[in-house]
Amino acid sequence: MRGGLAARVEMAAGRTGSVLAALGVLSVCAANGSGLVAEGATGGEAEWGEPWDGAVFRPPSALGAVGVARSPGTQRLGREEAVDLPVLLWWSPGLFPHFPGDSERIECARGACVASRDRRVRGDLRTRALLFYGTDFRAAEAPLPRLAHQSWALLHEESPLNNFLLSHGPGIRLFNLTATFSRHSDYPLPLQWLPGTAYLRRPAPPLQERAEWRRRGYAPLLYLQSHCDVPADRDRYVRELMRYIPVGAGVAGGAGTGGARRAEARTPGVQATCCTLLTAVLYPAQVDSYGKCLQNRELPTPRLQDTATATTEDPELLTFLSRYKFHLALENAICDDYMTEKLWRPMHLGAVPVYRGSPSVRDWMPNNHSIILIDDFESPQKLAEFIDFLDKNDEEYMKYLAYKQPGGITNQFLLDSLKHREWGVNDPLLPNYLSGFECFVCDHELARLDAERAHAASPGDVPVPEPHIAQPSHMDCPMPTPGFGSVEAIPENDRWKEMWLQDYWQGLDQGEALTAMIHNNETQQKKFWDYLYEIFMKRNQNL
């Protein structure tokens, strides 16, 4: 739910200027025809940009076969492309899980469909579903009018920050079928980063090896991030945590002042001089931070320093990261079931994740003692004390790696979820989730066609099939909150406060604007900015 009146009033002034400015700039772009435009056979404007005299969005009771007008340039699929099969149209540019060509017959559990990326078939009666990629979906560019016989399907396995429109009810309910990171979506993808249990059971490096790296001056705790300004505001928390991880923690015999000097030299913004030892003790850098965020150390080779390598399973990178006993694993956004390689990779390497991200992460862990949750601690200082305790006590530390032993994965929910998912991660025996979702949509449309035909044959006995509508639980991501401290304590000109709070609530406005356009049977995308402006002004009048 949206925040209270006080929070909304506080945000209104900041949002007004930025939203009105965006409306002014973007409406000009829309009027000039910028943005995504699909060309017809004659090189003219795409069919959804022309005046439309065919079927438009209707109430659920009208979900029968309807006539659809053809605009100039509309292409009907040829007989060689299976004339009687339903068509699934991938709408997002650059995303089409087939090669080569623009259309391909796919065989699924219930039957066959034709997958296409040719937007000119959008108005064809056989085009039963439009598939959208959430990161690329823009309300201002949605295909209008929305046709009564077509389902909208959403694939959004990426971060909530990529499109906050989908975190609000009006945005997610635009779609009929969903594949998101949420377990509640129609085609759930919460374990997209976890290949299987063998990935978790990989043996951890011996503690003796890690102790040797500590003696060479490495910290107990790793932070590897290059995406710094994110809704989860993780750098603000890590910066505070750096104040409290003790210098020389866990090193046999202690690091002494030499360890303090090494930490001092790596602390962001602190120069190594003979007079700054006290500063190093007060603000020790016993978090080794690589990447571009709070960086105090360099990865050992230029290839590893490439940010494209940092999220991969590169063997050289994994060997290097294995030196650390603890990995700070903070997602870029907070949402139930949103879990990425930041969580699973440390577990693969036998490190203990110090985690903040999905509030429901415990549901997915191999046992009830395998990660450290930041939000279980009342302050960064308390968390630092606990990490120090584990770093000095091998027996207690090893309890966090018990899931790597035979029989150590005791979470039946995790085991069942991995066993029964219909897609795989680098599994030659299973489809990837992109192809899997495509077949899921195909099967849904074949079933819907059967239901519509049954109703047409016996309208008095068989009811009109009810449409399936996505629910807020299919995303349902909360408003961003500071990584440390309160919103009130953050200056008004803080980049995080200026960017992410506004972006989150503008997603709600955009979802409401597009919903209103669809229900009003609008045919012109350029009117989106008028709708958005009206909604924005009404909302601010109510504050």
* Amino acid at residue number 383: L
> Residue 288's beta-bridge partner residues?
222
With b for 16 or more beta-carbon neighbours within 10 A and e for fewer, the 3-13 pattern comes to: eeeeebebbbe
Distances 193 to 135, 240, 459, 469 between C-alpha atoms, Å: 18, 29, 46, 27
The residue with greater pLDDT, 484 or 50, is 484
Confidence bin at 543 (pLDDT 50/70/90) = low
| Side-by-side strand order, sheet with 352-356 | 287-290, 221-224, 326-330, 352-356, 372-373
Instruction: Report how far apart, in Å, the C-alpha atoms of 490 and of each of 169, 247, 435, 485, 506 are.
Output: 29, 29, 44, 8, 21
Least confident segment among 23-27, 396-400, 467-471, 522-526: 23-27
Tell me what pLDDT residue 277 has.
35
8 Å CB contact between 37 and 49: yes
CA distances from 417 to 183, 195, 315, 337, 359 (A): 10, 12, 28, 13, 18
- Which range, of 10-14, 293-297, 448-452, 525-529, averages the lowest pLDDT? 10-14
Laid out side by side, the sheet with 87-90 consists of 103-107, 112-116, 87-90, 127-133, 151-156, 177-180
Assess whether pLDDT exceeds 80 at residue 395: yes
In this structure, are residues 200 and 402 in contact, taking their beta carbons and an 8 Å threshold? no
Dist CA 432 CA 318 (whole Å):
24
* pLDDT value at residue 540: 83
Mean pLDDT of the chain: 82
What is the structure's pLDDT at 18?
A: 45
Per-domain residue ranges for the chain?
5-191+432-541, 197-417
pLDDT at 235 over 90: yes
pLDDT value at residue 80: 52
Helices (H) and strands (E) in the chain, counts: 16, 11
Question: Considering the chain, what percentage of its residues have pLDDT values greater than 90?
Answer: 71
The pLDDT of residue 57 is above 60: no
Residue 179 three-state SS: strand
Distance between the two ends of the chain, CA-based, in angstroms?
A: 16
Summarised one tens digit per residue, pLDDT across range 403-414 is 999 999 999 999
Residue 319: is its pLDDT beyond 80?
A: yes
Per DSSP, the three-state class of 329 is: strand
34-56: average pLDDT: 34
Q: What's the one-letter identity of residue 517?
A: M
Residue 464 confidence (pLDDT) above 50: yes
Q: Answer for the pair 225, 219: CB distance below 8 angstroms, yes or no.
A: no
pLDDT of residue 283: 40
pLDDT tens per residue across span 333-353 = 999 999 999 999 999 999 999
Confidence of residue 25 (pLDDT cuts 50, 70, 90): very low
Give the confidence band of 245 by pLDDT, cuts at 50, 70, 90: confident
Helix (H) or strand (E) holding 26: helix 5-31
Sign, Cα dihedral of 356, 279, 226, 488? positive
Going by pLDDT thresholds of 50, 70 and 90, the confidence category of residue 38 is very low
Query: Token pair for residue 360?
Result: 């429901």
Q: Which residues of 79-107 are buried (b: 16+ CB within 10 A; e: fewer)?
A: eebbeebbbbbbbbeeebbbeeebbbebe
- Name the 3-class secondary structure at 126: coil
Supply the DSSP string of 255-317, one letter for each residue: -HHHHHHHHHHHSTT----TT-HHHHHHS---EEEESSSS--S--SSHHHHSTTTTTS--HHH
List, for residues 87-110, the tens digit of each pLDDT value. 999 999 889 999 888 999 999 999
Give the predicted TM-score (pTM) of the model: 0.81
Q: Which residue has the higher pLDDT, 68 or 149?
A: 149
Q: Is the pLDDT of residue 369 over 80?
A: yes
- Helix, strand, or coil (residue 192): coil
Q: Answer whether the bond into residue 86 is a cis peptide, omega within 30°.
A: no
Of 218 and 72, the structure prediction assigns the larger pLDDT to 218
The residue type at 170: P
Strand partners, 342: none
Q: Distance between CA atoms of 57 and 70, rounded to whole angstroms? A: 16
Closest C-alpha to 373, from 343, 340, 404? 343
Residue 308: per-residue pLDDT: 81
d(CA 411, CA 369): 11
Tell me: the pLDDT tens digits for 114-148? Answer: 999 999 999 999 999 999 999 999 999 999 999 99
User: Contact, 443 vs 109, CB < 8 A?
Assistant: yes
> Which pLDDT tens digit goes with each residue over 252-298?
333 333 333 333 334 343 333 333 333 334 344 489 999 899 999 99
How many percent of the chain have pLDDT more than 70? 77
The pLDDT of residue 311 is: 76
Flag the least confident range among 24-38, 149-163, 471-485: 24-38
Of the two residues 386 and 50, the one the predictor is more confident about is 386
Q: How far apart are CA 169 and CA 508, in angstroms?
A: 8
Packing angle, helices 528-541 and 495-519, rounded to 10? 120
- The answer to whether residues 467 and 57 touch, using CB atoms and an 8 Å cutoff, is no
Residue 37 has pLDDT above 50, yes or no: no
Tell me the per-residue pLDDT of 161-212, one tens digit each, with 9 for 90 and over: 999 999 999 999 999 999 999 999 999 999 999 999 999 999 999 999 999 9
Backbone dihedral angles phi then psi of residue 46, each to the nearest 5 degrees = -65, 155
For β-strands 177-180 and 151-156, DSSP reports them as parallel
Q: What is the mean pLDDT of residues 39-51?
A: 34
> What does the buried/exposed string (b/e) look like for 486-523 if buried means 16 or more CB atoms within 10 Å of the residue's CB?
ebeebeeeeebbebbbbbbbbbbbbbbbbbbbbeeebb
* Selected residue with higher pLDDT from 1 and 440: 440
Please state, in angstroms and rounded to a whole number, the distance separating the CA atoms of residues 250 and 208: 12
Q: Compute the distance between CA of residue 100 and CA of residue 92 in angstroms, rounded to an integer.
A: 17
Region 69-91: mean pLDDT is: 62
pLDDT band for 542, please (50, 70, 90 cuts). Answer: low
Is 197-417 CATH 3.40.1110? no
Secondary structure (DSSP) of 487-517: STTS-TT-HHHHHHHHHHHHHHHHHHHHHHH
Going by C-beta distance under 8 Å and a sequence separation of 6 or more, which residues neighbour residue 172? 154, 166, 178, 470, 471, 472, 474, 475, 476, 511
Q: What is the pLDDT of residues 467-515, one digit of tens each?
A: 999 999 999 999 999 999 999 999 999 999 999 999 999 999 999 999 9
Query: Which pLDDT band, with edges at 50, 70 and 90, does 459 fall under?
Result: very high
Give the pLDDT score at 286.
Answer: 86
